[in-house]
A and B are shown apart, each in its own frame.
Chain A
Amino acid sequence: EDQVTQSPEALRLQEGESSSLNCSYTVSGLRGLFWYRQDPGKGPEFLFTLYSAGEEKEKERLKATLTKKESFLHITAPKPEDSATYLCAVQGAAGNKLTFGGGTRVLVKP
C-alpha cells in the first residue's frame, strides 16, 4: 500500500526566513510525485509534478526536489502570501489513484 508522510505538520516562518518541507513516501513503482498548495476553504492548486529521482522544478519562491524516498519543497525568502497548506501526493504503478499526505500548514508572518 502506498504511503505518504509529511513533516512538519505546521511551520511558522518570519518573512524572508527560508525553510524546507519534507514528504517521505513508499510506493510501488513511482509514476509521479505531486505538490499542491491549498488555501483555507478552497480546492488544492497544482504546483509541480516530479517523475524521477534527481529531478527539480521551480516556480517563483518554491523549488521541489525528489529522491528515491522523499521529496522536499524549499521555500526561499517567503512572503505572507505563501501562507497555505502544502500537500504532497504520489501516484504508483497501480493506476490513476493519488495517495496524499496530511499536509504541512505554513504561516509566514510579516
Chain B
Amino acid sequence: DGGITQSPKYLFRKEGQNVTLSCEQNLNHDAMYWYRQDPGQGLRLIYYSQIVNDFQKGDIAEGYSVSREKKESFPLTVTSAQKNPTAFYLCASSENTYEQYFGPGTRLTVT
C-alpha cells in the first residue's frame, strides 16, 4: 500500500527537550510538508521541501528544524526554542503542485 506514515502517534516530552517526529512516504512524491494544527484552528505550514537536500520555511518555522536527505523521508525536530510545542503535527506530500496527501499525524504533548 502506498501512503504516508508518521511515528509515533503520541509523544510526550519534558519542557526543554528536543524531539524529532518521523515522516516517511512511498508515493514517490517530490514535495513534502509539515503542518501544525491547534484545537479549533486550521493547519499552519511549518516547513516544506520540493526536492532532496532543499527546504523552505513556512509561516511558523521558528523553533523547528528539518532535513531532507532522502526523497522518502522528511523528519521534523521540535527544539526547546519552540515556545508552545504542544499540538497535532501533520506531514503531507504531493506530486509537484498538485493535491497534498496527509499522514495520520503525531500528537505531541510537552509538559
The residues of A with any CB-CB pair to B shorter than 8 Å are 4, 31-32, 34, 36, 41-46, 49, 87, 89, 91, 95-98, 100-103
The SS class assigned to the B binding surface is strand
**B interface size (C-beta, 8 A):** 28
Q: Looking at B4, B40, B50, B107, which has the most chain A CB atoms within 10 Å of its CB?
A: B40
What's the minimum C-beta distance from B51 to chain A, rounded to whole angstroms? Answer: 11
12 more A-B residue pairs beyond the given contacts A43-B102, A96-B94, A96-B97, with a C-beta to C-beta distance below 8 A: A32-B97, A32-B98, A34-B99, A43-B6, A43-B92, A87-B43, A91-B97, A95-B97, A96-B33, A97-B48, A98-B100, A101-B42
What's the minimum C-beta distance from B7 to chain A, rounded to whole angstroms? Answer: 13
Residue of B nearest to A44 (CB): B102
The residues of B with any CB-CB pair to A shorter than 8 Å are 4, 6, 31, 33, 40-45, 48, 50, 58, 88, 90, 92, 94, 96-105, 107
